[in-house]
A = this chain, B = another copy of it.
Amino acid sequence: MPPVRNGTIYYVKQPTDKIIPGETVKYVEEEIDLDNVPLNGGILLKIVAVSSDPYMRYRMREPESSLAAFCPPLQLNKPVDNFGVATVIRSEDPDFKPGDFLDGFFNFQEYSLWPPPPDQKHFLRYIQKIDRPASIPASAYTGTLGLAGKTAYVGFDTFAKEKCKQSKTLFVSGAAGPLGTFVCEYAKICNPNIKVIGSAGSPEKIKILKEIGVDVAINYKEEDIEKVLKEHGPIDIYWDNVAGPTLDAALVNMSSQGLIIACGAISAANSNGQGSTVKHFEEIFERSLVIHGFTVGTGPSAAALPKFYEAVTPLVLQGKITNREHRFSLKEAGAALASVHHGTNIGKAVIVISNDV
């Protein structure tokens, strides 16, 4: 077979504010000889789909930013990499054979060698074989069964599950995204009587919240969150994906001894290290709150990770944890990366590179 096209997304310019498709990242067409490219004991992958996650913006900050410990920066003029799924085309590694379906950390690219070439310093070197039930789409492994789902599951299981059983109210911000819907649905599984309050930023997203059984859906662009929370609170558990003004509204409506899961700060992600301003920090001691910040796989939440597929795959098959996707092509990767910061994606933003699975 002659060489084939190998489309690749490169990181070419650090954004000063928002990600700009075509300027921040660029689509480049290269070629690859699938039959003859040397594997050097590794494997050749066909990338099926890669994920657009909010945290990717942090990887576009100044490399010397204090964030270094959280996630290493993307390298300029190298392929963008993130969590995704792939199938094995050729293998010299006895652990993998053609046709294997893998979860891993991959380039935004049609075909990739594994391990990656020495000039590509991947953030994570991670691949894992997945036994995918035929009724679950491959792309779901970038969201509901990928980083978003894993983050929701390990965070909730580790920090919130026990308290959820005795709680009356849960508030989730960024509730219509793949992580948010997971938390809302999983909380109802843990405690069917809990009142779930969710916030999101468009009528389409409010519709999603109602579909998944959220009791109080707040469009934060049209309603006064603090007022709605006051009406339906106090809040026993707040799952925070956004920080900023929504967090302030939650802080003044928390129950005494309430719990906050600090899972993200989308309001700060685009600030190049300037952070997210929170005014009511003093409520934390005044209300005797506990806050657990975490990133998936760090600290105590890491212990829940090995149970993820076994626990969550049946819930997805039973329709108790639902999956929705906003699909982008590889050429649209820049738009996919930007969408999760503009809130324009409805469902998991996923870059589907191949439908051939």
Provide the residues of chain B in CB contact with A70, threshold 8 Å.
Answer: 286-287
Known A-B contacts A298-B257, A299-B257; A275 and B280 likewise in contact (beta carbons under 8 Å): yes
- Residue A276 at the chain B interface, CB threshold 8 Å: yes
Known A-B contacts A252-B66, A298-B256; A243 and B282 likewise in contact (beta carbons under 8 Å): yes
Provide the residues of chain B in CB contact with A299, threshold 8 Å.
Answer: 256-257, 288
Are A295 and B285 within 8 A (Cβ)?
yes
Which residues of A from 260 to 317 have beta carbons under 8 Å from B?
262-265, 268-269, 274-295, 298-299
Chain A, residues 55-81, CB within 8 Å of chain B (1/0): the string is 000100000001101100000000000
Are B279 and A277 within 8 A (Cβ)?
yes
Question: In whole angstroms, what is the CA distance A252 to B68 when docked?
Answer: 11
Known A-B contacts A256-B69, A279-B277, A282-B268; A293 and B287 likewise in contact (beta carbons under 8 Å): yes
- Residue A44 at the chain B interface, CB threshold 8 Å: no
- Name the contact of A286 in the complex, choosing from B69, B283, B292 (C-beta under 8 A): B69
- Residue A247 at the chain B interface, CB threshold 8 Å: yes
Are A262 and B275 within 8 A (Cβ)?
no
Q: Which among A66, A67, A279 has the highest number of chain B CB atoms within 10 Å? A: A66
Copies of the protein in its oligomer:
2
Q: Contact size class for A?
A: 35 or more
How far does the Cβ of A188 sit from chain B's closest Cβ, in whole Å? 24
How far does the Cβ of A303 sit from chain B's closest Cβ, in whole Å? 13
Known A-B contacts A281-B247, A281-B265, A291-B291; A67 and B286 likewise in contact (beta carbons under 8 Å): yes
Are B257 and A285 within 8 A (Cβ)?
no
Question: In whole angstroms, what is the CA distance A278 to B283 when docked?
Answer: 12
Are A281 and B286 within 8 A (Cβ)?
no
Provide the residues of chain B in CB contact with A263, threshold 8 Å.
Answer: 285
Which residues of A from 318 to 348 have beta carbons under 8 Å from B?
none
How far does the Cβ of A155 sit from chain B's closest Cβ, in whole Å? 9
State the main secondary structure of chain A at its contact with B. mixed
Residue of B nearest to A269 (CB): B282
Question: In whole angstroms, what is the CA distance A285 to B298 when docked?
Answer: 10
Question: In whole angstroms, what is the CA distance A215 to B94 when docked?
Answer: 55
Question: In whole angstroms, what is the CA distance A289 to B290 when docked?
Answer: 11
Question: In whole angstroms, what is the CA distance A298 to B289 when docked?
Answer: 10
Are A293 and B298 within 8 A (Cβ)?
no
Chain A, residues 221-262, CB within 8 Å of chain B (1/0): the string is 000000000000000000000010001100010001100001
Question: In whole angstroms, what is the CA distance A324 to B292 when docked?
Answer: 36
Q: Which among A67, A283, A292, A295 has the highest number of chain B CB atoms within 10 Å? A: A283
Question: In whole angstroms, what is the CA distance A256 to B248 when docked?
Answer: 24
Provide the residues of chain B in CB contact with A276, threshold 8 Å.
Answer: 279-282
Residue of B nearest to A258 (CB): B293
How far does the Cβ of A205 sit from chain B's closest Cβ, in whole Å? 22
Are B268 and A281 within 8 A (Cβ)?
yes
Question: In whole angstroms, what is the CA distance A286 to B58 when docked?
Answer: 10
Question: In whole angstroms, what is the CA distance A42 to B282 when docked?
Answer: 38
Provide the residues of chain B in CB contact with A66, threshold 8 Å.
Answer: 252, 283
Provide the residues of chain B in CB contact with A298, threshold 8 Å.
Answer: 256-257, 288
Question: In whole angstroms, what is the CA distance A264 to B290 when docked?
Answer: 14
- CB within 8 Å of B: which residues of A? 58, 66-67, 69-70, 243, 247-248, 252, 256-257, 262-265, 268-269, 274-295, 298-299
Q: Which A-B residue pairs are the 5 nearest by beta carbons?
A: A265-B282, A284-B293, A70-B286, A291-B291, A285-B293
